Amino acid sequence: MNIVVFGGAGFLGSHVCDKLSEVGHSVTIFDIRESPYKRDNQEMIVGDILDAESIRLAIKGKDIVFNFAGIADIEEAKTKPLDTVRYNVLANVMILDECRLANVSRFVYASTVYVYSKVGGFYRASKQASELYIENYLEQYNLDYTILRYGSLYGPRSDEKNGIYRFIKQALTEGEIHYYGTENALREYIHVEDAARLSVEILKPKYKNQHIVITGTEMLKVSQLFQMLREITNKDFNIFYETSNDHPHYEMVPYSYMPKVGMKLVNPYHVDLGQGLIQVVETVDHEHSNK
């Protein structure tokens, strides 16, 4: 199928583009920056998701449209409420509208497990608004969708915006980790390549018009994660658990009351957390030693 991935140069989007190409789809990456991960058999369009003409041209002739573009960082969204509406809500509706005009057969959206939680601020608000617009495009215009609610991702191509990358960088370069939350906070980390594989799996007809939760398979206390990092790095770094109203984080589950419950999709096989962490440790170590 012909597929365009908005935000396809990013952390998650680039892995999804890889997996789409690997199973034989024709992939066009649309992003504000050139993708360093673009493959020879992929097309690249450099453009802004707020530019109606560019998105119209990118969507023309496509069967499936993925939207991974916009502000992906909760912290950034916290200080940029207007940009968060522009890039995460308005641009998403502009893309939806072009999808219905072009008779696209499915729109796939990157939401978050935070979507109906009490934390996540403007970021969460933008994801909730976008989910509602997507659901209404089905009702009003019969535009089919799949909403993917991702949990805590980690793995290759991540940067400072990513939790695990930051922890490892702090541990290796500063000898300590500052974590906003308690040591008992539970997380289900998922390797980005596993998440990307599932993001392609959902193109099957049975996932049409569904909300799909993509998180890890095992619950882990953050204190256990830090212990794993100590063993992997062979460094006895200090950990400071801090609480701050500026960094509210969930303890056990990110959800509160949820009007639209998502189905959790899991890989029958997946990257082992320890192995995945080693990949990120190697990357951070390499970047640091090249400075």
CA distances, 259 to each of 89, 115, 148, 152, 255 (Å): 20, 10, 16, 22, 11
Q: Is 68 in the site for ligand NAD (CB under 6 A)?
A: yes
Q: How far apart are the first and last CA of the chain?
A: 43
x/- binding map, residues 135-154, to ligand NAD, per CB under 6 A?
A: ---------------x-xx-
Q: Is 49 in the site for ligand NAD (CB under 6 A)?
A: yes
- List phi, psi (to 5°) of 111: -105, -160
Q: Which residues in 197-236 contact ligand NAD (CB under 6 A)?
A: none
CA distances, 152 to each of 25, 186, 246, 289 (Å): 27, 11, 19, 27
CB of 101 to ligand NAD, least distance (A): 19
Residue type, 62: K
Tell me the C-alpha distance between 173 and 268, whole Å.
Answer: 36
* Of 76 and 230, CB closest to ligand NAD: 76
Q: Which residues in 75-104 contact ligand NAD (CB under 6 A)?
A: 87
Q: Is 10 in the site for ligand NAD (CB under 6 A)?
A: yes
Q: Can you tell me which of 24, 33, 259, 268 binds ligand NAD, judged by CB under 6 A?
A: 33
CB of 178 to ligand NAD, least distance (A): 19
Token pair in block for residue 125? 């608000």
CB of 175 to ligand NAD, least distance (A): 26
Rounded-to-10 torsion of CA 256, 90, 29, 66: 40
The residue ranges that bind ligand NAD (CB under 6 A) are 7, 9-13, 31-33, 48-50, 68-70, 72, 87, 110, 112, 150, 152-153
